[in-house]
Amino acid sequence: MILVEIGNTSVKAVRDEAGKRKPLFKVSTKNIDELRRQLSLLLDNETILLSSVRKDLTAVIREYTGRLTLHVIRYDLLGNIRLDYETPETLGIDRVLACAGAVHKTKTDVIVVDAGTACTVDFMTNDYSFKGGVILPGLPMLRHAMKTLTPELPEVSPGLPDHFPGRSTHDAIKIGLNGGFIHAISRFVEQYKGRFNNSEVLITGGDGPFVQEKLEGNFGSSYFDNLVFDGMLAWKELNQIDN
């Protein structure tokens, strides 16, 4: 079975065989020709589970349904995963699946931080009811905004200096951008913990390791490489999808 996640900036695919995952490809969302090439290399009659936040690229995947079995996981096809959310039609399915993957692992209420292009901090109960959350700019968006709107300032990478306050413009930006990002996430997690004290904190996404490094000591959080893929398999199991 092949798991495909279409995000804001990339399309990632892995082959899952008895719980072991083999990376297949990672393609920029801007490179549709390469996406089509990769899809053409897949074997006939393979099964794809698809999570997508891009309708245009979902249409590209659908071009191959003549020889591939495709399950597009949509908000209205979640089955035993429930939404307690006022606007499900605008809800990124990756947010729900990341939470479902977290509940599947922990069997508890979960707070899931997905630190990607955008960052989400979401909550799901242990009976797979998605309760909503927070969307804020991720580090790539923040860095892009700084570079675009303040081009004379130096660019910075993830991380924090070992002193406070910043004694150079570079360090001041690092503390403000990267530190501010961590402070925002920490505050949101604290708000959740104030209401749902027994929930576990799980972190995923491209900048997840940085967030995990800064949050683990405060919240006992755990990092997982791709909770969206875990959520796809949880959806399959919960709804008894055979192929």
User: Which residues are part of the catalytic machinery?
Assistant: 94
The amino acid occupying position 209 is P
CA-CA-CA-CA torsion sign (37, 42, 44, 50): negative
CA-CA-CA-CA torsion sign (240, 114, 105, 111): negative
Rounded CA-CA distance 70/88 in Å is: 22
- Asked whether the beta carbons of 45 and 67 are under 8 A apart, the reply is yes
CA quadruple 183, 184, 190, 194: dihedral, nearest 10? 150
Question: Which residue bears the tokens 């989400």?
Answer: 120
- Asked whether the beta carbons of 14 and 3 are under 8 A apart, the reply is yes
Helices 55-62 and 32-40: crossing angle, nearest 10°? Answer: 30
- Asked whether the beta carbons of 128 and 81 are under 8 A apart, the reply is yes
CA distances from 130 to 103, 138, 216 (A): 10, 21, 24
CA-CA-CA-CA torsion sign (98, 102, 104, 108): negative
List Cβ neighbours of 148 (8 Å cut-off, separation of 6 or more): none
